[in-house]
């Protein structure tokens, strides 16, 4: 993939102290492959050091905010690659590091619509404020894919009710923006077609404050968030679920567009 094509997959713009970060792979429902994760790291770093930006709005083009990881590229890797990288992600393409490697700790508002699944849900939960369009559907896809959903459980529990976090993580069911708001996970649910307008209104309010005051809160919030994620990771990483038969079956079933299972617990 050329540098220009890779750059276009995630666009960065800034106006009036507000940056806009746009996922631009609508034909794949903004699914993230390794290249997009690495590009996202570059974009977030660029925003972090941009002297003209104080706050960012994160959005997706097309029918979905983000449908998660690109299963064909990340989860159907040969087992030798899985062992080498320690999971489905490629080297340097670990999405869990995106929001916790800042210098200036500027706030990010996510404005999800349509679907935010798996990796996409994690980015929503890691952001500082969530303004979701009514009817947006979320899912901890890792559970049904044979991976651990504990990172998402930790993020959901960090933002809202632990009982809700547990239920949606171990069932792997879709849940709505309205349910998430009732559980304290989503900050605001906007009427259809108004989520971006409300996200930018909130961004303008934030940009009107002394930036160092805002960043002090963001830095503290993300420090505690990272501790929750790190503890969850240490609990489950030794299980190496990405090497199990059930994980392989789930990835194959997704690629072949057929019913999952049967699973064997190994």
Domain annotation for the chain: domains and CATH numbers: 3-193+208-256 (3.90.226.10)
CB distance 170 to 143 below 8 Å: yes
For the sheet with 10-15, list strands across it.
10-15, 18-23, 55-60, 108-110, 129-133, 188-190
Q: Which of 48-52, 74-78, 168-172, 237-241 has the lowest mean pLDDT?
A: 74-78
By three-state DSSP, how is residue 176 classified? strand
Residue 130: per-residue pLDDT: 98
Q: What is the CA radius of gyration of the chain?
A: 18
Residue 263: per-residue pLDDT: 86
DSSP 252: H
Residue 256: per-residue pLDDT: 78
Q: How far apart are CA 116 and CA 130, in angstroms?
A: 12
> pLDDT tens for residues 102-130?
999 999 999 999 999 999 999 999 999 99
> pLDDT tens for residues 26-40?
999 999 998 899 999
CB distance 199 to 111 below 8 Å: yes
Closest by CA to 237, choosing from 161, 144, 142, is 142
Provide mean pLDDT across the span 19-25. Answer: 98
Residue 4: per-residue pLDDT: 54
Contacts of 230 (CB under 8 A, 6+ apart): none
CB distance 155 to 228 below 8 Å: yes
pLDDT band at 218 (very low <50, low <70, confident <90, very high): very high
By three-state DSSP, how is residue 56 classified? strand
> pLDDT tens for residues 164-209?
999 999 999 999 999 999 999 999 999 999 999 999 999 999 999 9
Residue 251: per-residue pLDDT: 75
């Amino acid at each position: 993939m050329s540098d220009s094509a890779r750059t276009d997959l995630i666009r960065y713009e800034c106006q009036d102290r507000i940056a806009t970060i746009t996922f631009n792979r609508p034909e794949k429902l903004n699914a993230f492959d390794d290249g997009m994760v690495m590009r996202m790291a570059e974009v977030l770093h660029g925003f972090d050091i941009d002297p003209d930006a104080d706050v960012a709005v994160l959005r997706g083009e097309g029918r979905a905010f983000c449908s998660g990881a690109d299963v064909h590229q990340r989860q159907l890797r040969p087992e030798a690659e899985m062992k080498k990288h320690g999971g489905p992600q490629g080297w340097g393409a670990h999405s869990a590091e995106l929001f916790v490697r800042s210098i200036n700790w500027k706030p990010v508002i996510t404005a999800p619509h349509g679907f935010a699944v798996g990796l996409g849900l994690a980015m929503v939960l890691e952001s500082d404020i969530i303004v979701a369009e009514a009817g947006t559907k979320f899912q901890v896809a890792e559970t049904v894919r044979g991976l651990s959903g504990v990172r998402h459980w930790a993020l959901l529990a960090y933002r809202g009710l632990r009982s809700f976090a547990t239920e949606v993580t171990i069932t792997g069911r879709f849940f709505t923006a309205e349910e998430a708001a009732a559980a304290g996970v989503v900050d605001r649910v906007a009427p259809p077609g108004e989520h971006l307008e409300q996200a930018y209104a909130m961004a303008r309010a934030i940009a009107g404050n002394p930036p160092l005051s805002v960043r002090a809160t963001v830095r503290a919030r993300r420090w505690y968030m990272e501790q929750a994620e790190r503890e969850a990771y240490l609990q489950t990483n030794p299980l190496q679920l990405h090497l199990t038969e059930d994980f392989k079956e789930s990835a194959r079933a997704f690629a072949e567009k057929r019913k999952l299972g049967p699973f064997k617990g190994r």
